[in-house]
A and B are shown apart, each in its own frame.
Chain A
Amino acid sequence: DAGVTQSPTHLIKTRGQQVTLRCSPISGHKSVSWYQQVLGQGPQFIFQYYEKEERGRGNFPDRFSARQFPNYSSELNVNALLLGDSALYLCASSSTGTFRNTIYFGEGSWLTVV
């Protein structure tokens, strides 16, 4: 079975641009969470979606938004990119939305803002 898949794996954007990152959860998983990991830091929670509804939001500005589709895949959008948005963006999926060692992380999308 395929794991959590994310795309693109690497991308470079210019300040002020917009970016969309995509995530496909493990088959049968209905919960998707997004994390931002800046170099040298631990991942920080951005959003969780469960059954297409936002279930949690971290301390990120409104430039960050996300959605979940009927097939449970998800997109993370970041508008008006800043240099500080350069990071590894991780997607995680779980089967019930309530963590019980069933959460799996994707390989991440490396975003560089120049």
Chain B
Amino acid sequence: EDKVVQSPLSLVVHEGDTVTLNCSYEVTNFRSLLWYKQEKKAPTFLFMLTSSGIEKKSGRLSSILDKKELFSILNITATQTGDSAVYLCAVEWGNTDKLIFGTGTRLQVFP
């Protein structure tokens, strides 16, 4: 059965800390891996990763994919209270819009 596993499930840090969120996957028809941020309702897109070893960056956020070991990490440096959210990892299955999501990591950043 296809699955995506995220860890930790929950994380509490102080502003300025650096965090690493993990995502491992076992998906038969892997096409890409995506990270989303969900604060209230709609997940908002962060990154899409298709190739191993190529880091993607956006401000304080960065992510990398290892297709040999079947995992990805999302790093957030110098965290801010506005980073508090659930971070979702998803794998795109085949040539479709079907995304297989993990349970998410709930990040809480306190001042």
Question: Which residues of A are in contact with B by a Cβ distance under 8 Å?
Answer: 4, 31, 33, 35, 40-45, 48, 50, 55-56, 58, 88, 90, 92, 94, 97-101, 103-108
Are the C-beta atoms of B42 and A31 separated by less than 8 Å? no
Q: How far is the CA of A106 from the CA of B44 in the complex (A)?
A: 10
A47 → chain B closest CB, angstroms = 10
Are the C-beta atoms of A99 and B31 separated by less than 8 Å? yes
Are the C-beta atoms of A40 and B97 separated by less than 8 Å? no
Are the C-beta atoms of A45 and B43 separated by less than 8 Å? no
B45 within 8 Å of A (CB atoms) = yes
Q: How far is the CA of A8 from the CA of B96 in the complex (A)?
A: 27
Are the C-beta atoms of A42 and B98 separated by less than 8 Å? no
Are the C-beta atoms of B99 and A43 separated by less than 8 Å? yes
Are the C-beta atoms of B102 and A42 separated by less than 8 Å? yes
Are the C-beta atoms of B97 and A42 separated by less than 8 Å? no
* A92-B88 contact given A106-B42, A108-B42, CB 8 Å threshold: no
Residue in contact with A55 in the complex, picked from B43, B96, B102, CB distance below 8 Å: B96
Residues of B close to A100: CB separation below 8 A: 48
Are the C-beta atoms of B102 and A94 separated by less than 8 Å? no
Are the C-beta atoms of B96 and A99 separated by less than 8 Å? yes
Q: Scoring B residues 23 to 45 as 1 if CB is less than 8 Å from chain A, else 0, what string do you get? A: 00000000110100000011111
Q: How far is the CA of A84 from the CA of B41 in the complex (A)?
A: 19
